[in-house]
């Protein structure tokens, strides 16, 4: 099943996010290689593709896992979680309807 993972950044997490980014992306690349990634990306803090020093307010990942428990375990090991980038993370089942 698909799961939507929404991480909300701490307000002062820009430096920690940047430091953990390559390890975080490596895990996302692995999901992509396994065919388990629907989409992933950050939420810019301002209305701009590249927000510069304004940074980001969080991230969205929609990926496939065998269960909610497996998705939650995956999140716990994420470099952004370990680096304290996220103030909170929610994991919810997601049913893809469109596009077909």
pLDDT (tens digit, 9 = 90+) per residue, 64-77?
A: 999 999 999 999 99
Counting Cα atoms < 13 Å in the Cβ hemisphere of 76 gives 6
Burial per residue of 67-96, b for 16 or more beta-carbon CB atoms within 10 angstroms, e otherwise: eeeebeebbeebbbbebebbeebebeebee
Looking at the predicted structure, is the pLDDT value of residue 55 above 90?
Answer: yes
Spatial neighbors of 18 by CB under 8 A, at least 6 apart, are none
Q: What average pLDDT score do residues 37-42 get?
A: 97
What is the Cα–Cα distance from 100 to 95, expressed in whole angstroms? 12
Looking at the predicted structure, is the pLDDT value of residue 100 above 90?
Answer: no
Domain 2-94 -> CATH class: alpha beta
């Amino acid at each position: 099943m698909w799961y939507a993972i929404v991480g909300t950044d701490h307000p002062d997490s820009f430096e920690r996010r940047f430091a953990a980014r390559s390890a975080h992306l490596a895990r996302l690349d692995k999901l992509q290689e396994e065919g388990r990634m629907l989409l992933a990306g950050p939420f810019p803090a301002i209305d701009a593709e590249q927000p510069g020093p304004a940074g980001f307010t969080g991230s969205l990942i929609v990926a496939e896992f065998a269960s909610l428990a497996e998705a939650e375990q995956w999140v716990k090991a994420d470099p952004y979680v370990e680096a304290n980038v996220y103030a909170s993370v929610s994991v919810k089942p997601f049913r893809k309807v469109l596009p077909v």
